Amino acid sequence: MRILVVEDEALLADGIVEALRIEAYATDLARDGASAEELMFVNNYDLVILDWSIPPPTGIDLLRLWREDGNATPVLMLTGRSQIEDRVTGLDSGADDYLNKPFLLPELLARVRSLLRRRDKPLQTSLKAGDLEIDRVQRLVTIAGEPIEVSPKEFAMLEYLINHLDEVVTRTELIEHVWDDAFDSMSNPVDVIIYRLRKKIDGGRTQQLLHTKKGMGYMLTGRRR
């Protein structure tokens, strides 16, 4: 899952980004409307956390522009405005949810999970592929009922692969959805994490769930082959 945070208050923005990354969301940060507009143009996001009062174009202006262009990405609007009229304006402009400042990060994360569940493709809390199961709520991965330890990036990649079960996923797709703009194109993290996941998921088994499709990408299958 990739999320765009648009917030100009430095401490708040950094806190939101850190909390999202701990939860294994790939997260980009824009501190003004122009940067947010550019990032939305070049990237495909699963969710936007958008502050109303950012340097222009403002959050509400951006939201109206995106909706007019047919962009249906879920948007959680953040604002210090407490009047009901402001909330109505935000929702009427296309916001999917509205959170007043100040707020607690656990509430923000709960709103994020709720919005992701309400997308066109519902966010299932439990996903399975053969004897592999991931629990999105507890951030737990099990093989044949036995828990295995995975890093946040390993979890995020596994989540993306299992959401595209029996489909070939390219390295580019994994980079776009698992990493954020801090991705180091000179390193080789995709192959490294695939290697680690294969050891944890398939180990020494003759039949595997995770496969490399030479020249194409990777595929997680619904049964061991």
Helix, strand, or coil here: 15?
A: helix
Residues 130-165: b if buried by 16+ CB within 10 A, e if exposed:
bebbbebeeeebebeeeeeebeebbbbbbbbbbbee
Listing DSSP states for 40-71 in one string gives HHH---SEEEEESS-SSSPHHHHHHHHHHTT-
**Predicted confidence band of residue 211 (pLDDT cuts 50, 70, 90):** very high
**Predicted confidence band of residue 114 (pLDDT cuts 50, 70, 90):** confident
Residue 225: the pLDDT is 84
pLDDT at 137 over 80: no
Which stretch of 68-82, 84-98, 161-175 has the lowest confidence by average pLDDT?
A: 84-98
What average pLDDT does the chain have?
88
Structure tokens at 24: 């294994």
**Predicted confidence band of residue 148 (pLDDT cuts 50, 70, 90):** very high
Residue 117: CB partners within 8 Å, gap ≥ 6?
123
Q: Pairing relation of β-strands 26-30 and 97-100?
A: unpaired
Structure tokens at 54: 């950012």
pLDDT at 185 over 70: no
Residue 45: the pLDDT is 93
Average the pLDDT over 212-223 and give the result. Answer: 92
Average the pLDDT over 182-206 and give the result. Answer: 81
Residue 222: CB partners within 8 Å, gap ≥ 6?
129, 130, 165, 166
d(CA 137, CA 219): 24
pLDDT in tens, 21-77: 988 899 999 999 999 999 999 898 999 999 999 999 999 999 999 999 989 899 999
Alpha helical stretches, state H, 132-221: 152-163, 171-178, 189-201
**Predicted confidence band of residue 140 (pLDDT cuts 50, 70, 90):** very high
